[in-house]
Amino acid sequence: MTDLKIGVIGIPGKWSTEVLADALEKETGFRCVIDMADTALDLKNRSLMASDTDLSKLDGLVIKKISQQYSPATLDRLEMLRVAEAAGVKIFSSTRSILGLVNRLSCTVTLSNAGIPMPATCVTESVDQALAAVQRFGGAVFKPLFSTKARGMTLMDADEGETALRQKIEAFKAGNPVMYLQKKVNLSGRDLGMVFLGGKYLGTYARVAQTDSWNTTILHGGKYEPFAPDADLIELARRAQAPFDLDFTTVDIGLTDNGPIIFEVSAFGGFKGALEGASIDAATLYATHVIEKVRA
């Protein structure tokens, strides 16, 4: 046991949040799970309170989940945590790193600027431009800028006809003024999650569709399976996550007929896929990493 006080930002009662809190408690004897919805920032007193606990007085905070669903308000929660960070609390991953990932467009631009292969992508506020992109791509997945696990994504095919497509695009735009769409690629019902801790590769799992759904997420019926990547694929994933300087992450990769492509780098990474698909006890490994960094 140590005298370190390291809290977990997450969703109380959720498996990934609780298993990380368990791992930290086992090593430190201290347990604190924080839902950002219950915090209050007092800038005059430079405090960030969660019930009776001032988060700015802790030794460390691990952000496992900043909110149940991503939205612009997620950015506000990260800004609040910057106050604790400025007070000397070590945060994993840093707010700067996560701020560059929560917005899908920010992540995409960073990956593109680093020369990482991605699906053909169009970002526009114009219905006409979006329609032209779908017709050019043959089919596209429209994605909200703030979402996880494929929530809110809409598949549109060029063969639906211009009138029907325009109506679907207008409906999507009603809730997403800036439209982000990527060319639909053939993944043969499988994509990969490649796990990194402190920039070091840990292992890979596959998400495999079990239905006729166009995506492989567990939310849509997919399941985890082991996968053994070659050295080139590991190096591609390493390059993809490197610009973000994350303590723990999962790189989402698709294998296409034209080679591998990167879909995104996760702001928080997935524990369950690592455990069930790759037999990696990510929570324990992450807790050890955090404790070593806080002590340093």
Q: What is the pLDDT of residue 256?
A: 93
pTM, full prediction = 0.92
1 lies in a domain?
no
pLDDT for residue 213: 55
265/263 Cα distance (integer angstroms) = 7
Residue 137's domain is classified under what CATH number? Answer: 3.30.1490.20
pLDDT value, residue 1 = 67
What are the pLDDT digits (tens) for 96-115?
A: 999 989 889 999 999 999 99
Q: Which amino acid is at 122?
A: C
Do 97 and 246 meet the contact criterion of CB atoms below 8 Å apart? yes
Per-chain mean pLDDT for the chain: 93
Question: Based on the domain organization, do 164 and 238 belong to the same domain?
Answer: no
Which pair of tokens denotes residue 158?
């060029």
C-alpha neighbours within 13 Å on the C-beta side of residue 209: 14
Cα 210 versus chain centre, distance: 23
Query: Average pLDDT per run of 10 along the chain, which is 296 residues long?
Result: 92 96 97 97 97 97 90 91 97 95 93 97 98 97 86 92 96 96 90 97 92 55 90 98 98 94 94 96 98 96
Residue 43 and residue 61 share a domain:
yes
Is residue 14 located within the same domain as residue 88? yes
Domain count, the chain: 3
Helix (H, G, I), strand (E, B) or coil at 124: strand
User: CATH number for the domain including 27?
Assistant: 3.40.50.20
User: What distance in Å separates the CA atoms of residue 31 and residue 18, rounded to the nearest whole number?
Assistant: 10
b/e per residue, 199-210, with b = 16+ CB within 10 A?
eebbbbbbbbbe
* Residue 197: strand, helix, or coil: strand
Same structural domain, 163 and 193: no
Quote the pLDDT of residue 105. Answer: 94
Tell me how crowded residue 92 is: count the other CB atoms within 10 A of its CB: 23
H or E segment at 62?
Answer: strand 60-63
Give the C-alpha separation, 49 to 272, whole Å: 30
